[in-house]
Structure 1
Amino acid sequence: MTDRTPAKLAPRLLQGDRRALARAITLVESGRADHRAQASALLEVLAKSGRQALRIGLSGTPGVGKSTFIEAFGLMLTAQGLKVAVLAVDPSSSRSGGSILGDKTRMERLSRDPNAFIRPSPSQTHLGGVARRTREAVALCEAANFDVVLIETVGVGQSETLVAEMVDLFVLLMAPAGGDELQGVKRGIMEMADLILVNKADGDLKPAAMRTVADYAGALHLLRKRPQDPPGFPKALPVSALADEGLIKAWEEMTTLADWRRETGHLERRRAEQARHWFEAEVREGLLARLREDPDMRAMMAQFGAAVAAGETPPSVAASEMLKRLRS
């Protein structure tokens, strides 16, 4: 790991060296204490560069064509001279391998593009660990001078909320659907979305896709107006990743929204709120880690846990007593 020390990695990464970026991400993914210390030192050095990318979160149900969309969208951006990084938040990867682990091979053209970088998520046993590593990977990609960072989530509920806390724009990719399927879309995810893109708007599916766009546009219109949105947002648009249609329009809408938020100060305030959120999350995670590492604390947790499981003590009472003992 000598070539992964901050002193050796930072200059190469700031020059856009892809191998240095890959090694730096491997470093922040590591759970070893010495690697975590090196990762923290590296991130501190890189933060001084002040580089920022447009962070875009992308979610969608399985089968919606996320891999096809990301490849087509990424290639469209690199054709414009932009550097694009694709990251993933995939809590399922530690259990089943997760679909994202196959995305790099499915996005073969994009993975070969010199202006693109694709990184599957680390295998972690809890979503918080995946989110932390992804957030730090975003910072590394920004330092490596990428213009756009796409953060994909597999769409399992909590992962969308975590991704929304690390991006500037949140995009929901949907397939042509009927009214019943529209009813099944969670209101919370709809409220997070800045853009809803209805994919597969081509061929025989195009009429259904256009109806779905109208349905989503109507649903978005009924949601409460958000202060971070200019008139007309959030909105729904048709796209076809397969036919490369609607991608330029979608990008124009994303940049319009991002520019408006930047000019009005919303983007800066949002990033400040996100930084505070992740600071507090790190503190909570650190406290929990101390509980897990201390043998006495583990024994006490096991004792109270057994009492709660046996119905001898209510969870709230056990938690209160545990906290009392921690303070003493």
Structure 2
Amino acid sequence: MKFARVEALVARLRVYLELIRFEHTLFALPFAYVGLMLASGGRFDPAVWLWVTVAMVGARTAAMALNRLIDWQIDALNPRTAGRHLPRGLVKPWETLLLALAGFGLLTWSAFNLNPLTARLLPVAVFFLTAYSYTKRFTWTCHFWLGLTIGAAAAGGWIAQTGSFAPAAFLLWAAVGLWIAGFDILYATQDYEFDRSHNVHSLPARFGIPAALKAARWLHLATWVLFVLAGLASGAGVWYYAGVLLVGLVLYYEHRLVGPDDLSRVNQAFFEANVAVSTSMFFFTLLDVLNR
């Protein structure tokens, strides 16, 4: 009987992890570590790493749970998303809200265990983590709101380490923010017809798919330039720039996967290529600070 209860609990936990797409933490968490490492100058503080990790897991859980809750009625109408947990009734709205509150609880706990600036910035973080899900209801710039929100993870890592802002933190924030906005635009091309017919705002729905793909390419070029500038501002070494070079190649490959007449590999471009971007920057920055 006890084993059956444990098995049921594990199964339910798996449902919650699927609901919030926990694997997508790989987009933002590595960049929080990149910001932390560039700020540290090679110093390693296990407590800072721990609390940054808890903060990122909490923020990601809260943001994704709220996004699913806020959008579930739209998701139910969209054939691509109708199979998600809330439209199918696999998870109740109150469970999703509790997940979001638990995530905010972890974020709050972490912020107060890092430094005074992270604690003071907590209300700002909560606002953006909550608000960005509503932007698709009134503006095609929703992709940039998402980038602004998730890109803050990189600056958050810097602030967690130093307790202050710096030019490199803003450059890294901008780089990650434009990267996120660019691949979110690519992802939104899948819903072009649905968004136009249901008054859901996105850059592809507003300007068309060819223009959206071109915008994403320019955003990712700007991303690459900003990664270079962030390295210069933080005094990064050769390994960091090797990572930036690899990221440039990955971004080029990502845009080769999709075209106006062939969107069949958007999901591959969205997940595989972008996980490669974040993990490459993490590992090469780690090599860089270890060899200073």
TM-score, normalisation: structure 2: 0.35
- State the structure with bigger RCO (CA 8 A, min sep 6), 1 or 2: 2
Kindly name which structure, 1 or 2, has the bigger radius of gyration based on alpha carbons: 1
The structure whose residues are more often strand, as a share, is: 1
The structure whose residues are more often helix, as a share, is: 2
